[in-house]
Amino acid sequence: MKAGVQVIVGLGNTGSEYVHTRHNIGFDVLDALALAEGLRFRKSWTMPALLAKWRRPVGHVLLVKPTTFMNRSGHAVTRAMRRKGCGSEDILVVVDDVELEAGRIRIRPKGSAGGHNGVQSVVDALGSEAFPRIRIGVGPRPEGKDLTNYVLSKWPEELEETAAKLSRLSAEAAHYAVEHGVEKAMNEYNARRV
């Protein structure tokens, strides 16, 4: 397979209490991408994750939803990379970002964890910050509120449609990154908002 995105990882927590929370938007994006491409996730017997294979003309892209908690996501990422035989530059991590306002996404080829435990787990597992990611705005960071409770809460009713559009836009951006590369996806999507 040609170089490029070969593994897309959505970060989130398993369990019904976390469904459609801000912290689980990485899962929502992969679900939106799977729906658009007619894919189904299945439990993996070789790694702690739900997997879907997105068949492409030049091979397949592996969609990964780790089934560990957020702060142990790196284990599934490294297993998926070994399975695909790819490097860190060939993965795309989809993650919530409380520092970005709701309705915006930001694609980056690398960067720090920025205090996000899921991203830190991937950094620790890879021993590197040099992997592409789509950061999805779930902010602004609340003043005087507990950050953990904020990100683990459901979207308020007035933002549910924004969250759904944000998931679809991010899925579209991930698709574009597969087709055209991360750098072109940055140019195309970093100025967009819902």
Active site residues: 23
Residue keyed to tokens 């070969």: 6
Residue 30 gets the label, from left (phi > 0), alpha (psi -120 to 50) or beta, of alpha
Q: Quick one: which of 60, 57, 29 has its CA closest to 168? A: 29
Q: Beta strands 133-139 and 105-108: pairing type?
A: antiparallel
Alpha helices in 38-146 (DSSP H): 74-84, 117-126
Pair of tokens at residue 120: 């830190």
